[in-house]
Amino acid sequence: MAHPLKPDDIKNSGGYRLVKELSHEEIIEFVMGQFKQLRWPMAVFYVFNIFLIGLILAFTIGNFLFSYISWGLYWQYLLLGVVTGMLLVIPLHEMLHGLAYKLAGAPTVKYGVDLKQMMFYASAPGFVADKYAFYLVAFSPFVLINMIFLAGILLGPVTVQWGSLVAVFIHGTMCIGDFAMVNFFAAFPGQKVYTYDDKSEKRSYFYIKH
């Protein structure tokens, strides 16, 4: 069984080329830059959220026409959906990132918050993740948490359906950082891409194998 790659294996072997060095203070700028790079991850992100906006508008118009719920309940569950999708799922979201890191083989997972960038994160300093391990880490919260909200949409009473629809949209938009990172990986189709975080330098490094 091959031993897992270490950062020094990549830096010192000569078989890898550095393609991106990302300061953790520039993550928001990096994410915003990926908005303009339309590869399959960003396309999925846009289509998913535009579809949800359409459903939200359809429910709202339908409520005007057919009064599914009272407008008091409409605003109450809209607010509940926003709060749930934006705040209440954050610990679960980051915990799932951490669990995915563990499943991918990371020995240590660290959690933190960057108040300056209004960003919560889970990281595995020194753990070298290949493309597939990183996809697992990036997409696990998006898939699993949205499955919970989907159950509310399909199985709940109409108020829960409405609140869950709002929550899945809010949570989906908040996953933009995960999609942006995967979008960067998608810039190197057919190539072996690796990344790791350096805690002391507060930077992430991305390499491709020659």
Would you state the structure tokens that stand for residue 70, as one six-digit string? 């009272």
**Cα angle: 145, vertex 193, 13; to 5 degrees:** 140
Using a 10 angstrom Cβ sphere, with 0-12 exposed, 13-18 middle and 19 or more buried, the burial of residue 40 is exposed
Would you state the structure tokens that stand for residue 193, as one six-digit string? 């891409």
- The answer on pLDDT for 10 being more than 70 is yes
What is the distance between the alpha carbons of residues 85 and 73, in angstroms, rounded to a whole number? 18
pLDDT in tens, 176-199: 999 999 999 999 999 999 999 998
Residue (of 140, 142, 168, 138) closest to 154 by Cα position: 168
Q: Which residues pair with 114 in a beta bridge?
A: 119
Beta strands 193-198 and 129-130 are: antiparallel
Averaged confidence pLDDT in the chain: 94
Neighbours of 137 (CB within 10 A): 28
- Phi then psi for 111, rounded to 5 degrees? -115, 150
pLDDT in tens, 55-111: 999 999 999 999 999 999 999 999 999 999 988 899 999 999 999 999 999 999 999
Neighbours of 184 (CB within 10 A): 22
At residue 1, the pLDDT reads 41
Residue that is written with structure tokens 């951490």 in the block: 98
What are the residue boundaries of the structural domains of the chain, listed by start? 19-209
195 touches 128 (CB < 8 A): yes
- The answer on pLDDT for 3 being more than 70 is no
At residue 208, the pLDDT reads 96
Alpha-carbon Rg for the chain in angstroms: 20
- pTM of the predicted model, to two decimals? 0.93
Neighbours of 113 (CB within 10 A): 12
Q: Confidence band (pLDDT; 50, 70, 90) for 4?
A: confident
pLDDT in tens, 141-175: 999 999 999 999 999 999 999 999 999 999 999 99
